[in-house]
Amino acid sequence: MEKELAAIYCRLSQDDGDLGESGSIQTQKAILTRYCKDNHIAIGEIYCDDGYTGQNFNRPDFRRMMDDIERGKINVVIVNDLSRFGREYAEMGLIIEHYFEEKGVRFISLYDRVDTAKSKDNLIMAITNVMNSFYARQSSSKTKAAHRARAQDGMYLAGHALFGYMKDPNDRHKLIIDHPAADVVRTIFQLFADGVGYVRMTKILRERKILNPMAYFNQNNPDYFKSDYWRKPFDWHATSVRSILMNQAYIGNVVFGKTKVKGLFDKKRIPAPQEEWIIVENVHEPIISRALWDTVQQLMKSRRRENSKGEVQMFAGLVKCSKCGSSLNVNFDKKKGKYTGFSCWVYKNYGKDRCTSHAIGWKTMGQLVLEDIRRNAKAAKLATPKYKEMLIAAKTEKKRQETEKCKRELKNADKRIAELDKIMNKLYEDLALEKVTEERYQTMSKGYEAEQSGLKERRNKLTEIITRAESVYENIEKFLPIIKKYTDITELNTHILNELIQKIVVYEKTNTPDGSKSQRVDIHYKFIGYVEMKEMFGLPMVMAMAKDIEIDDVLIAEARGMAKELAG
């Protein structure tokens, strides 16, 4: 008879706190060691997983035990009770009743009086495994519900504070600013807003010898990390930078539920749909402003390619074609090391079948936008009430027309949705009375359901548009302090453009009566969109217009004259 060499396996999870001292790792060891001694079973190894759930078998010492069984070092597994081995009955059945039998491993559970050497058909073991699994799932559901309730109250639930914050000594569920790390977070947001790409930013952070989040954490918790990875203290990666830029905690929000377990048996965590997240705003002190956050998020959504200098061109994602709506490609002269202009990639790749030529020079675009920003900034700063009145008049009339149109469409959608409800109810009655066949019912009901689903989706969009349209005054109040900052700017940069501008729409060049060419460029600002300011304070306002590839000097002089008049 082969000599028996036992594995003593002990486990305790954080959810097992109610077991008390009787269920502790030390107590389990003592009981199992005594059993082996009393029954003359040699102990080959003791395996302990302290702080690991029983709902899966991805535990370090459990895996080590299974490796030792595979190598033939162990042929007996002893646990205090079945729940210590695991709480997932399907996988436990496969391991105990199939794998262990195949490997000739004897399994003993003291409390449950299970010993596969005495009886392989143990009904008690099967029932106990099911009960343990049910208990684990019930406990898990209760724990999740408790966590979600705490998250909805704005509690911070992670084990450690994220980079830039520390846990409040008086309340472990609240964050307070960790100023040295917060300065690094502000630097990262500002660099990105200024057009610095991920790769170049990691280089800047390394050159400045700024500790990465893991190294910074270890500086305050030197015994936490067991691996040496943190010992590369200045080794920043693009993924680390991106995760910081996407974290809403830096504007004072608490976000919970961004990941979830994949399935009942597959415990791998996967991203959860955003509509399932719990977001509680203004819970703790923000590190960055909402304006800077919005600017950065807009930049992250746009397609950004770094040039040879590691920079991203400042108009990235902003310049659009008036006909096809696509972003215009930027042209870069490698020999001269500078940008030359924009062109429609749809027209370039597919020709006149898909679009027409929409191109504009880099210098021209820069001058147009700079002058338009300066003009609006001067008017906003020097004559705020009149400028505000002009914006309200321009936006209210336009929005009023849009809103009335949306309200009419919404009314028609609601009417049709109600009609479809009646039609489907009548159709079901006809089916019940056998006036229509099952096949006919299925065909017709699917069509009506699809139509109703589309109408409901459209209704939601219309409601959102109407709500936005009715917030004109609030949006203008948000826009004014931002535009006023840029009265005296002499050049553009990524931060200015993405803080102020939503999009820039470029039209095709047209011929003028004098034989020259002009081109319309509409600048849509954040909060207020596009406003054509034809006249203000008795002076003509200039619509952004490029002429002969350069700015019309007369129009620019006229705009500057207006600013001088206002200043006087």
**Predicted pLDDT of residue 470:** 64
My answer on whether 169 and 145 are in the same domain is no
Reported as a pLDDT band with limits 50, 70 and 90, residue 545 is very low
* Residue 173 forms part of a structural domain: yes
Distance in angstroms (rounded) separating the CA atoms of residues 347 and 331: 15
Cβ neighbors of 1 (< 8 A, separation 6 or more) are none
pLDDT at 224 over 90: no
**Burial (CB count <10 Å: 0-12, 13-18, 19+), residue 262:** exposed
Which backbone phi and psi does 126 adopt, to 5 degrees?
Answer: -65, -45
* Residue 290 forms part of a structural domain: yes
My answer on whether 138 and 198 are in the same domain is no
Half-sphere exposure of 224 (CA within 13 A, CB side): 13
Distance in angstroms (rounded) separating the CA atoms of residues 516 and 519: 10
pLDDT in tens, 382-419: 888 888 878 877 766 666 677 778 888 888 988 998 89
Q: At residue 125, what is the residue type?
A: M
Instruction: Using the structure block, give the residue that is written with the tokens 């790390």.
Output: 181
Nearest of 8, 18, 263, 257 to residue 135 by alpha carbon: 18
* Residue 400 forms part of a structural domain: yes
Which region, left, alpha or beta, applies to residue 320 given φ > 0 means left and ψ of -120 to 50 means alpha?
A: beta
Lowest mean per-residue pLDDT among 115-119, 490-494, 502-506: 115-119
pLDDT at 340 over 50: yes
Reported as a pLDDT band with limits 50, 70 and 90, residue 4 is confident
CATH code (residue 88): 3.40.50.1390
- Which runs of consecutive H residues, i.e. helices, occur in 302-361? 345-350
CATH code (residue 219): 3.90.1750
My answer on whether 93 and 201 are in the same domain is no
Nearest of 302, 329, 314 to residue 366 by alpha carbon: 314
Domain count, the chain: 3
* Residue 110 forms part of a structural domain: yes
My answer on whether 12 and 131 are in the same domain is yes
Is 182:311 a contact under the CB 8 Å cutoff? no
pLDDT in tens, 135-187: 555 555 555 666 667 777 778 887 788 899 999 999 888 899 999 999 999 99
Whether this model's pTM surpasses 0.85: no
* Residue 171 forms part of a structural domain: yes
SS (H, E, C) 277-299: CEEECCCCCCCCCHHHHHHHHHH
**Predicted pLDDT of residue 547:** 45
* Residue 15 forms part of a structural domain: yes
My answer on whether 407 and 272 are in the same domain is no
**Predicted pLDDT of residue 542:** 39
My answer on whether 82 and 130 are in the same domain is yes
My answer on whether 173 and 122 are in the same domain is no
Q: In the predicted model, what is the mean pLDDT of residues 53-74?
A: 90
Distance in angstroms (rounded) separating the CA atoms of residues 59 and 11: 10
- Quote the domain boundaries for residue 415: 395-475
How many Å from the N-terminal Cα to the C-terminal Cα in the chain? 108
**Predicted pLDDT of residue 379:** 86
My answer on whether 172 and 146 are in the same domain is no
* Residue 359 forms part of a structural domain: no
pLDDT at 112 over 70: yes
My answer on whether 146 and 11 are in the same domain is yes
Domain boundary among 445, 475, 505: 475
**Predicted pLDDT of residue 477:** 84
Distance in angstroms (rounded) separating the CA atoms of residues 3 and 8: 16
My answer on whether 232 and 172 are in the same domain is yes
pLDDT at 561 over 80: no
Domain boundary among 296, 315, 337: 296
Which region, left, alpha or beta, applies to residue 341 given φ > 0 means left and ψ of -120 to 50 means alpha?
A: left
* Residue 491 forms part of a structural domain: no
**Predicted pLDDT of residue 536:** 43
Domain boundary among 150, 183, 200: 150
My answer on whether 135 and 242 are in the same domain is no
My answer on whether 95 and 193 are in the same domain is no
